[in-house]
Amino acid sequence: MKIEFKSLEEVEKSHIIDLMNNALVRRQMPLLKGDFNETDCDRFVSAKAQMWKTHGFGPWAFVIDNKFAGWGGIQPDNGEADLALVLHPDYWGIGKVLYKRIIDKAFGELGISSIQVLFPPTRTRIKGLLRLGFVKDKDVKSGDEHFIRYVLNKKD
């Protein structure tokens, strides 16, 4: 299996739009309201590219065996490093491999000391997250939505 981390700008818009409109994906993304169209995609890709320009890091497109599988990585979020991992359901089984690569880059190359994950309260299956070392921190609001913040600290 060939796994590549690419710029979101290298992915056909239609693939990103299809992913962001997938019902199973949307169920996990309460901030995503209404249909995700081409204009939304342009704004999304531009905002993610700006993160790279401003902070030197941001999310990638995940390409597996030359097919777009999703996007994710470490994103700046109000002074925190936020982990995003949004995969098409066909690729949900590869999440742990991608996660390991992201974490290695974050704690290694980027020198980040802690990473947060924000889960909506509807995400009740969290045992895997806790096994990875994340600890429940606090409840937070983003937009008009409620999330539970989990934190992973770099081990010395």
Which CATH superfamily includes the segment(s) 3-112? Answer: Gcn5-related N-acetyltransferase (GNAT) (3.40.630.30)
Annotated domain spans of the chain:
3-112
Residue 131: the pLDDT is 93
In this prediction, residues 81-109 reach a mean pLDDT of: 95
pLDDT value, residue 156: 61
Q: Quick one: three-class SS letters along the chain?
A: CCEEEECHHHCCHHHHHHHHCCHHHHCCCCCCCCCCCHHHHHHHHHHHHHHHHHHCCCEEEEEECCEEEEEEEEEEECCEEEEEEEECHHHHHHHHHHHHHHHHHHHHHCCCCEEEEEECCCCCCCHHHHHCCCEEEEEEEECCEEEEEEEEECCC
At residue 120, does pLDDT exceed 80? Answer: yes
Confidence category of residue 125, pLDDT binned at 50, 70, 90? confident
Would you state the pLDDT for residue 154? 93
Query: Percent of the chain at pLDDT above 70?
Result: 99
14: left (phi over 0), alpha (psi -120 to 50) or beta: alpha
Question: What's the CA gap between 97 and 14, in Å, rounded?
Answer: 25
Taking only the tens place, the pLDDT of each residue in 14-49 is: 999 999 999 999 988 888 888 999 999 999 999 999
**Is 90 exceeded by the pLDDT of residue 123?**
no
Residue 134 banded pLDDT, cuts 50, 70, 90: very high
pLDDT digits (tens, 9 = 90+) for 49-83: 999 999 999 999 999 999 999 999 999 988 899 99
